[in-house]
Structure 1
Amino acid sequence: MYHSVADTDPADDPYDITVTPARLDAQLTWLRRRGLRGVSTAELLEAYRRGQADGLVGLTFDDGYADFLDHAVPLLHHHDCTATVFVLPGRLGGDNAWDPLGPRKPLLDADGIRRAAEQGMEVASHGLTHVDLTRADDQALRREVADSRSALADLTGQGVGGFCYPYGHADPRVLAAVRAAGYTYACAIAPGDLNGPLALPRIHIGQRDTALRLRLKQVTGGPRGRALRPGHIPFPAAVTA
């Protein structure tokens, strides 16, 4: 789980959401040297269903920052990787106004989202405006979940199968809304008692994650999530992993 990729003073990154391009390059180099390849979540899950996910690592970038196109995509291409970018169609060309302490970071506009899709990245939904869905009323929940999917489909001309819970917060009501909207998977952070393809856990990756820390997170599943392993997602019994 990544967010922003930019050259930022750590003092200006109170939420630990930014990695420098140099650090991302080193982290992707670390993956590739170990025979691993970063892919979008959709590609990872499809490979999992076919029993061909060995050596694949799902890479996600939350919030849809404009620097994803500027810095992340060129590095992903350099390392023969893809990724999923979770974007906010209700904040096109806006900024991360939901972060009260951090600096303002520009978000992808409509053209940037289309360019990310054209360059082989999976574009998926992070809701319309980045609100805590567990606190939203039913009408706002449907709007954030369903309307964001249709808006992205109209914008990219592609199907939208993935969703990411803002702040990683989800509960059974929110999960049910995501299912009703037609998503095939959804990403959380540490989903607790929720499980299945609509509650995928992820491992947070930040600027401090050098080779040693990456290895520890690979082994332990990380402090803010757990690794995706066979048995965590109840696919049909006919599918093996």
Structure 2
Amino acid sequence: MRHLTRTGTTPFTDDLVAYYQFNLNTTDVLDRININHASLNGPAQKVLSTAPIAGGESHRLTVNSAGPQTFGPTQAQVTFGTINPNGEVVLSRLNLLPDSLPSNNPNTGNYWVINNYGSEPFDPLTALKLKSVNGYPIGNPADSRLFVRSANEDINNWVELCAAADFNGNSYNYNSSCGIANMGQFFVQSGNTNPIHMIYPYAYVNEQICDNDSIYLQVVSCFEILDQSPGATS
């Protein structure tokens, strides 16, 4: 996210002149609006991007006072000090994993990017509350470690800052002891092999158990999914 993106459900009604799509494994570059297709010539090739971009939610606020600021659909809350950005701050919750991870330990399955377009430096954040898009925190808050790197970074140079203080409100909550004085990318990962994130239960429709015009929903919890995995024991 963080820039103009289009999903398969968005209609082409915004007078786009061209919309090039680069996700095919061929040398073709398709124009999805018109027929002005392109192709790669010579040694040109497509490579997988490691940039911090993905689908998700994004929200912008003008921050010019101390106190908590909630960033709309991202469900994140940032509490600023007396010296604050005094300008626009954009927070994005990216619903994919970053290209590189600090370790192979369990994580939340997504990450966050905060861009400050106001003033720097500012006082270290008083608090940072982050919510996953598809689950909630579990386990010991001390295991939920906060990692950070610069806003546009794409290499594995994550720096571990601190542990969560608590999980109040089903958020990963970090306090002033983290000393967050710069915006950037934020990632929550376990400091060990203990899980820190539980996916919400989901429902699906099984056509074989439908009775005429009645539909019965069968809810499967994550624990049941784990129990049904190959080699699992209960």
When Rg is computed on C-alpha atoms for both structures, the one with the higher figure is 2
| Greater percentage in strand | 2
| TM-score, structure 1 as length reference | 0.25
| TM-score, structure 2 as length reference | 0.25
Structure number with the bigger relative contact order (C-alpha 8 A, sep ≥ 6) is 1
